[in-house]
Every structure is written in C-alpha cells, then in structure tokens.
Amino acid sequence: MTRILTGGVGKVEVAETVKKLSLDGVHVAVSSDMDAAMKLRAGQADYYLGTCHTGAGASLGVLLGLMGSAACHTFGRSVPTEDEVSALIGDGKKVFGFGMDQIDAVTPVVARAIAAHGA
C-alpha cells in the first residue's frame, strides 16, 4: 500500500482527484504540511503532494526544511510527463509541489507514476 498525503491550498481537490483515479494500492488522505512532514519522517506515509499559487511556497515550505531538498521537487508552472515523474521518484523524491491552477493537469500524472512505482 502506497500512502499519499496532500497539503497546501488545494489539498482537498488534489485528494479528490487522486481518489477519482481509483488506482490500485494507493491510499490518499488530506493532511497538513507539518503533520505530513512528521509522518513521512516516521515512515507512516510515502508521498506528499502540495499545492499553492507558485507551486513552491506554501506547498513545500515546511517540507523542504524538514525533509531536505533532496526529497523535494517542484514542478513550478510546468506539467510533467509520467516518465519524468518516475525518474524523480527513482531519484528519491517524495514531496512534489505544483500550482493550484494546474491541479487537474498535474495530479493524475504524478499519482499514476507513484502507483506504477509502487506496483
């Protein structure tokens, strides 16, 4: 079971988008940045998806501080491909930030890549 937490301004929308995909072996829950950082460190969660205006500030702030930049990645304003996300996951990234006006476009790509990686 791969556990994804969502946080930031669009956390509810992101969680709903992931749920609608009904991916096998993926569990998603709405969280907050601080709780998510604690759970990721303790191994109680696997990935974090954060959203804000720029795709980097509120979405990643606390996570960058507590998890280190090696575990974090922001797509900023670009929409990645599933291969790009897979490569990032392969590099050990667990925390992804993106713009709240691109939730529809980015969330499915990232969630599918996470599901493929977990399988």
Partner 1 sequence: MSGNITAAAAGSTDLGLSLPQQLTVIALCALTAFVSHLALAVFNDGVRPFMLDFIQGRTTRSATTAVSFGLSAGFIFGLGAPMALSTGVLNPWLLFLPTDILGILSPKKWLAPVLGAAWGAVVVFGLNGANSLAHDLPVDFLTAMQQMSTPILFLFTLFPVLAITKQFGTLRGGIAGVVELVLVVATMKLWPNVFAGAVAMAVGVLMLIAFAVSKDLRQRRAEQAERAANGDGTAEQAAGDDDPTASLFSASATRLRKHLPLFMLLGAGVCLLAQMHVLGGGEATSFLIAKGDYSGAAQVDFYRVFGFVPLIATTALASGAYGIVGFTLVYPIGYLLPSPWLALMCGALVFAAEVLALSWIGRVLGRLPSVRDSSEHLRGAISESLRLAILFGSLMAADAMGGGLGILIVGGLYLLNEAMGRVVVRMAAAPAAVIVGGIVLNVLYWLDLFIPVKS
Q: Which helix (H) or strand (E) holds 33?
A: helix 33-41
Contact 28, 36 (CB under 8 A): no
Ramachandran class of 109: left when φ > 0, alpha when ψ lies in -120 to 50, beta otherwise: alpha
Q: How far is the CB of 2 from partner 1 (least distance, A)?
A: 22
| Window 15-54: contact mask with partner 1 (x via CB under 8 A) | -----------------xxxx-xx--xx---------xxx
Q: How far is the CB of 31 from partner 1 (least distance, A)?
A: 10
- Which listed residue (4, 8, 46, 107) binds partner 1 by CB under 8 A? 8
